[in-house]
Structure 1
Amino acid sequence: MNKPMLKLRLAAGTAAFGLLGLTGGAMAQEGGGVLLEEIIVTAQKRVQNLQDVPLAISVVTGAQLEQANINSAEQLFQRVPTITFRKGNTNKDSAISIRGVGTISFASGIEPSVSTVIDGVVYARTGQQTADFLDLERVEVLRGPQGSIFGKNASAGVVNITTRDPGSTPGGHIEASYYEGNEYRVKAGVSGPVSDNLSGLITAFYSKYDGNGKNVFNGNDINGYERWGARMKLVLDASETVRLTAIADYAKANDNGFADSIGLVFPSAFNQQIFLPSLAPLTPGPRNKDIDNDLDPRTRDRNSGVSLQADFDLGAVALTSITAYRHWYNYQQRDGDFRSDGPLYVATGVAAGDNRSHDRGDLDFNQFTQELRIASTGNNFIDYVAGLYYYTTKEVDFFNRTVTACTATTLPAENGLLPCRPGASTYVTNEGNADFTTRLKNYAAFGQATVNFTDDFRAIIGGRYTKDKVSFDFERRSTSTAAFPGVRPYFAADGSTKKDGVSGNAGLQYDFTDEVIGYATYTRGYKGPAINVFFNMIGPDTLPISAEKADSYEAGLKTRFAEAGLMLNLAAFKTTYNGYQANTRELVEGQVVTRLTNAGSVSTRGLEADFTWAATSDLEFNGGVAYTKAKIDRFKCPATEPTCADAINGKPLPFAPKWKGSVTADWRLPVELPDMDARLSNTLQFTSKQNFDLTQNPYAFQAGYATWDAVLSFVTHDDKYRVSLIAKNITDRHYVIGRIPNGTAFMRQITPRDAERYFGASVRANF
């Protein structure tokens, strides 16, 4: 590649962050010692050295993720201490948090607080990017509000994913992996030049896992998946100053979970006499992963998209255009009563929860985005990047809830409860069917400048003007004319809200030495307005929810002691969110419901450290640790519970452990093998106690835990072949990533794949 195009390739595109890979990144230098490679980054969409960027950023390379059997965004929390992941019953309801802040909601009229960007394209929903990783170059996590360049739905941070470019020479690979529990994965791809100016890459994958639990009702597996897909990238060097990059991807998933396993049943007459006996042979408990459902959990997912990036090198400036369209289809079904044999008793009094409830729904989601950007090149007194952004989405949802209850019986009471049996009792089935469409539009103009007062001292200032509009139409048809357990009467509404917002950042940066720089920044984060559009919405839900705003202060040190092989970055931060958009629980018509609202103000503060240390040319350590205190400052109680703030204010935010850390040691073993190296990678990860419920339910906590993973690889000297033996969670430490209170009845939990010990092997051939 010629030098103008190389400069263009680095300067244009989305925020990309390169960090030293764990294997082979260090090199010996004359006179002894270990030298770290220089790292070029474009985290501010301009060419810079990593250590010159005044941002707190974490990264994991694609090779590291593949080696550790981390295959999707929901597992990133294992390697990035500042991330936590909330897994819903379906990926539609999942969410990422950074520094303890994220958006957890079932509504279609709200965006996440953590923005996901893949190859320069913003993904509007967290569920869109839960598909398997494919052809990753790296995953970068920009921590804290991003007010200027990444201003779209990034009030808590950005997960920026970059895929690999085609190779300059013909080549390819095939990789096959197998893990205990009948989990296997196959990936294959080819890459290289197609003509003098055109190169291409195409990779496909297939993966399948039976699951880590059973439905005792029918013996079917749960919490597993079957997924396949492909990604293609074409790069055309149209001239010495013009480059075009076209990307197309498609992924399909058929999952049988995650299911609502039952961890704890609270004492009550109904639970002791009816609920617990009906679950047999299932036994609820803290390690339970099984269910007793007459409707199997199921999620079907299709995710596809195309994008075209055009880069123009005009000498003093670089122009970039990114045009993208994405489509997402998602189907979900779940058993809402968590058992297979209800109803057994008249649904009155103590047995009010004895009914059968089944949920089914689907969504069809489309988005179009366009970004135009100009950036200065070279070294100037003022370096800048500026641009325009447009974004529009349309989501069409259908949701059905069918509920059967026993309303009368001729049988005598048993232990104070009226039993129901076919032929002697009256059963009533009601259902609600909701159709709703939600549209979001966003227009933005942004810019950021760095003023280089001297070689060592500079100022950064940026801003973003955002215009958001959210609109919806909704109709729920119900067979019940009055409130029925889980199903509300007919309701129809439409409406919209729009808001203009301003966000931005300002800061100072000073180079104390060539190896130590310091920075201090202020960022105004912003996430646009929302509407609580969901199946059981009623009048109050049609009211607009105000924008979420953040004020963030951060100071950091970036150090690089090249001859010692050490890179250490430190950050201290404090962020306050006003108008925090979150779900709260309240009692409506005798039912506990969640309602999206401006829940009040919350804050997060803490200290973070990231490091890479090449102890020798054969041994490297890489990791980070984060102390985060994310808490509720002022909670806005629902009208039905006006004093709830007394028990909530000052308490921790959900999915916000105080301490998280991980360290990976990668060691080229000192053993003599014919034509190959042996490499041992060990990763330790620790998470302290965390809460899963905004209202501080005492049963919605996960105790602190630590896990240990290891990979032993044999790699030929020419890197053509690799065989890896993989051990996950070696100490068999059980944990959950969700505890969900369900009124006063019982508590559910979600157990991930990696919450138990298992082993596997992987074979890769490069050609």
Structure 2
Amino acid sequence: MKGSLGSVSFMALSVALMPVASASAQTAQTTPQAASDADDMAPGEIVVTAQKRAERLVDVPVTVTAVSADVLRQRQINDTRSLTDAVPSLTFTEGGKAANNSFRIRGVGTALFNFGAESSVSTVIDGVVLGRGAQGFSELSDVERIEVLEGPQGTLFGKNADAGLINVVTARPSHQLSANGEVTVAEGEEYRAKGTISGPLSDTLRASISGNYSYVGGNLFSSVSPGDRIGTVKSRGVRGKLDWDMTENLNWLAIASYYKTQSGCCSSVIQQFDNSVQIAALVVPFTANTENRLVQMYKPSFDDSRQFIGSLEGNLKLGDFTITSITSYQNYRFDANPFPVIPDALPPLYVAATPQLVTPYGSTTQTTINGAGGRSKTLSAGGPGSVTQFAQEIRVTSPGTGPLTYVAGLYYQTQKVGREYLQRWGTCPVTAGNTVGLPCGTSTTVLPIYVSNTLNAGQTSDQIAVFGQGEYKLTDKLSVLAGVRVQRETVSYFVIRPGASQPGDVSTLSVGSGSGNTADNTITGKLGLQYHVNRNAQFYATYARGYKGASYDIELTAAFNQTTPVLPETVNAFEAGFKGRIFGGRALLTAAAFYAKYKNLQVQAQAVDPLTFTATSIPTNAGDVTTKGFQAAISAEVTQGLSVNASVVYSKATVNANGLPCTFPQNNAAVYGLPAIATVAVGAAQPSNVCFRQLNTSGGSATFQNVRNGSLPGAPEWRGNASIRYEHPLFGSLAGFIMGSMNFQSWQSFDLSQDPFLSQPGYATFDLNFGVKDIDNKYSLTVFVKNLTNRHYYTGKNYAGNNVRPAGYVLNYDQQGYNVNLPKAADRYVGATFAFKF
């Protein structure tokens, strides 16, 4: 039905535009495969579709980092999160579950982890915009290239790409029978396999099918069940394509893909926790330091997902114009049940005499874990989420020659987001019958008390937009650039919180339901100038306005009667750059300076009730972000067989935000020698960059801070990489190769509230690979070493039980401790890959 609707819409617009299209006599090229017909391409020329038409990278007035399939293979980049190894402007931060993982470009990314909110860095696969950022974290298979577009891309790629875009382009079916594949085996129980078969079914019909499978053993281990890996990820996927030349001027490309992941994401590990009393109280004590890989878990966490994407793309040549239609449907579902790293770390622990059955939408049986003093720990906090999205895009692409070139079109999207949740925990009061050291429930008169909350929520959005971007040549060398996107979006939500999940449980959240809706009209766009020094060099300067849409809180603690949405996030960005071939064309140099100002930053922060002045953590608009800096990259063939690549990004990203929680040191000012927390009366002026106590009408208070020019989390000022590769014939048809690469970054914070302890010093990592290959690239064997110097680093950091301390124990950071998220590449490991193609 939806495919048919897209076809009808496509053909209707084609007929309507036919008189206009026939007025010119040039042939437009809209696919990379056809780019060579538009221009004389130099050997090794890079072609991108950053402006919805195939163009040489050196001609595009946009900062784009293009990563080819060869580079992905050479650097063992098997999934999207590993793209940070090749793209210094791209950083990755790991959250408590996969849905909270995020990309950042030039320091800017998602600061609001609510399933109702969009990602600031959008992911596009074969022209299809993914509905949520979590969908973009996947294995890479059958990829032709990946383009990372820095800065807002809302004119051509949709409203929510206000920080940047990851554009994944997979290979079209080939005109001749071909196949390729890779098999990788590495330390840590890592096994990967991927392959593609492609070729013609007739003179006009071509097909391909690709698949991938990976099993990556967790790099953490259970201290409760020695030898059990924590964080194992198993994934598999398949993608099929049909490429049909229906007529000489009409081509259809149908794509269907299915991807499934079973993950142990996202456990963190204690690396500092000097309180020996608390460590000794754990079921299996361990040493908390940078070498620790033990996690105190009774049941493995899980974060599973599956995704289907189907699309139908049509390209119709009408005279010198090309009409393109992309009809797409996607369905994404996940089910997560993250568990605590340690069971409250309270001395001593209580464990329920009988395991309690808890079924949060498919989770397994759990064991109640409690601590002294009646403290308790969440048993489960998870449940499923879903995204269903249908989209239709129709656009016209002008010829690539002449004084005026442009892309213009219409876009429609409807999306439904669902969220369910269960939170359940147990507590056991300390009494004469339940003394310290005995299992909870030892007393026949004092039994565990269970608390649970449930949620059923959803959000629906509809958007329609008209967009266009063009270039007009004022002279042979000077062009003016202009683009605009006019859009209307409506968003509605519902929240139902029915109370406890099981009879006899106590519910701590209010029972009720609510709904609301909002609508927004917005205009985004782009202006710029481009000056071509010659065919292989240009200067450009652009201004772009970006936008990320409104959303509602649909998580467990949502205020069900809250009708105020999180307002749209906007950005005004400026960029000036150079692209050109130097050293006689042997090297490509790109450089750009940038400045961007984001307003109405969407964050998870403290909000104060206007009547009671009590504080609640909710998604809100808390301030603004400024990012400024420069980046440069060079890629060169020094001599035959010797290539060098290097890139660097400097990005100073600062944030202003009100109503943030105070940091751990601020809340314990006397211990850290900080100023005492001042009390601010109702209605009085609030200070900046200091923790203060806000009185409320009932005589209580809550602490806050207003940050000015703070460091944006996940945004190191410096990032860069460099690689050198050398190939040389050996004997017969064999050649040998060796490649070394390096990545570095400076200090970064992990906390919007500016806690100095939740940060990471700068570091550098080195990779090495070497092997043999056939000189015709039909097969290769590569041995690789990741993180050669065994430099430990992390992708997330948080405190370990910041309310945990025995009575009378002196409180300071060293006795407090923290957890970190450790990727596998934070430890050195060795592997090998065999690749083939024919």
Secondary structure, aligned partner of 1:149: helix
Q: Would the aligned equivalents of 1:235 and 1:245 in 2 still touch at CA under 8 Å?
A: yes
Deviations 1:205-247 (A, max 9, x none): 1111221111222342111111111111111111221110011
TM-superposed CA distance for 1:591, in Å, is 12
Which residue does 1:298 correspond to in 2? 302
Which residue does 2:377 correspond to in 1? 355
1:738 aligns with 2:796: yes
Deviations 1:311-335 (A, max 9, x none): 0111221100000111111111121
Query: Amino acid of the residue matched to residue 683 of structure 1?
Result: S
1:339 aligns with 2:343: yes
Distance 2:117 2:210 in 1: 33
Distance 1:330 1:70 in 2: 24
1:606 aligns with 2:639: no
CA distance change for structure 1 residues 638 and 493 in 2, over 3 Å: closer, same or farther?
A: farther
TM-superposed CA distance for 1:637, in Å, is 4.6
CA distance change for structure 1 residues 127 and 591 in 2, over 3 Å: closer, same or farther?
A: farther
Which residue does 1:167 correspond to in 2? 174
The 5-angstrom pairing of residues 124-203 of structure 1 reads 124-203=131-210
Query: Amino acid of the residue matched to residue 559 of structure 1?
Result: G
Deviations 1:400-427 (A, max 9, x none): 111101235225977xx99955226442
Give the TM-score taking structure 1 as reference length: 0.90
The 5-angstrom pairing of residues 66-145 of structure 1 reads 66-145=73-152
TM-superposed CA distance for 1:202, in Å, is 0.6
Deviations 1:616-650 (A, max 9, x none): 12111123100000001354557999656546211
TM-superposed CA distance for 1:675, in Å, is 1.3
TM-superposed CA distance for 1:734, in Å, is 0.4
CA distance change for structure 1 residues 731 and 348 in 2, over 3 Å: closer, same or farther?
A: closer
Q: Would the aligned equivalents of 2:28 and 2:321 in 1 still touch at CA under 8 Å?
A: no
Distance 1:606 1:353 in 2: 48
With 405-414 and 750-759 compared, the bigger mean Cα shift is at 405-414
Deviations 1:66-95 (A, max 9, x none): 332221111111110001112223322211
The 5-angstrom pairing of residues 518-597 of structure 1 reads 518-538=539-559, 542-561=563-582, 563-584=584-605, 594-597=617-620
Q: Would the aligned equivalents of 1:12 and 1:320 in 2 still touch at CA under 8 Å?
A: no
Q: Would the aligned equivalents of 1:316 and 1:378 in 2 still touch at CA under 8 Å?
A: no
TM-superposed CA distance for 1:340, in Å, is 8.2
1:398 aligns with 2:412: no
Which residue does 1:20 correspond to in 2? none
Deviations 1:82-116 (A, max 9, x none): 01112223322211111111113331221011111
TM-superposed CA distance for 1:446, in Å, is 0.6
1:673 aligns with 2:731: yes
Q: Would the aligned equivalents of 2:343 and 2:377 in 1 still touch at CA under 8 Å?
A: no
Which residue does 2:500 correspond to in 1? 479
* Unmatched tracts of structure 2, length 5 or more: 1-21, 352-368, 663-678, 681-685, 691-704, 805-816
Q: Would the aligned equivalents of 1:581 and 1:597 in 2 still touch at CA under 8 Å?
A: yes
CA distance change for structure 1 residues 750 and 398 in 2, over 3 Å: closer, same or farther?
A: same
Larger Rg: 1 or 2? 2
Q: Would the aligned equivalents of 1:403 and 1:485 in 2 still touch at CA under 8 Å?
A: no
CA distance change for structure 1 residues 446 and 286 in 2, over 3 Å: closer, same or farther?
A: same
Tell me which of 516, 531, 548 is aligned to 1:495. 516
CA distance change for structure 1 residues 12 and 466 in 2, over 3 Å: closer, same or farther?
A: farther
With 298-307 and 634-643 compared, the bigger mean Cα shift is at 634-643
Query: Amino acid of the residue matched to residue 753 of structure 1?
Result: K
* RMSD of aligned residue pairs (Cα, Å): 3.2
Distance 1:421 1:576 in 2: 57
Q: Would the aligned equivalents of 1:369 and 1:392 in 2 still touch at CA under 8 Å?
A: yes
Distance 2:782 2:769 in 1: 6
Q: Would the aligned equivalents of 1:71 and 1:133 in 2 still touch at CA under 8 Å?
A: yes
Secondary structure, aligned partner of 1:607: strand
Which residue does 1:327 correspond to in 2? 331
Identity %: 32
Tell me which of 743, 749, 754 is aligned to 1:685. 743
Q: Would the aligned equivalents of 1:166 and 1:234 in 2 still touch at CA under 8 Å?
A: yes
CA distance change for structure 1 residues 218 and 212 in 2, over 3 Å: closer, same or farther?
A: same
Distance 2:659 2:568 in 1: 15
Which residue does 1:711 correspond to in 2? 769
Query: Amino acid of the residue matched to residue 665 of structure 1?
Result: I
Secondary structure, aligned partner of 1:649: strand
Q: Would the aligned equivalents of 1:637 and 1:644 in 2 still touch at CA under 8 Å?
A: no
Q: Would the aligned equivalents of 2:155 and 2:468 in 1 still touch at CA under 8 Å?
A: yes
CA distance change for structure 1 residues 14 and 497 in 2, over 3 Å: closer, same or farther?
A: farther
Q: Would the aligned equivalents of 2:602 and 2:619 in 1 still touch at CA under 8 Å?
A: yes
With 147-156 and 449-458 compared, the bigger mean Cα shift is at 147-156
CA distance change for structure 1 residues 601 and 14 in 2, over 3 Å: closer, same or farther?
A: farther
Distance 1:687 1:593 in 2: 35
TM-superposed CA distance for 1:752, in Å, is 0.5
CA distance change for structure 1 residues 708 and 50 in 2, over 3 Å: closer, same or farther?
A: same
* Unmatched tracts of structure 1, length 5 or more: 18-25, 27-34
CA distance change for structure 1 residues 575 and 590 in 2, over 3 Å: closer, same or farther?
A: closer
CA distance change for structure 1 residues 443 and 71 in 2, over 3 Å: closer, same or farther?
A: same
TM-superposed CA distance for 1:529, in Å, is 0.9
Q: Would the aligned equivalents of 1:250 and 1:305 in 2 still touch at CA under 8 Å?
A: yes
CA distance change for structure 1 residues 722 and 519 in 2, over 3 Å: closer, same or farther?
A: same
1:255 aligns with 2:263: yes
Tell me which of 724, 747, 752 is aligned to 2:818. 747
Q: Would the aligned equivalents of 2:389 and 2:413 in 1 still touch at CA under 8 Å?
A: yes
Distance 1:581 1:64 in 2: 35
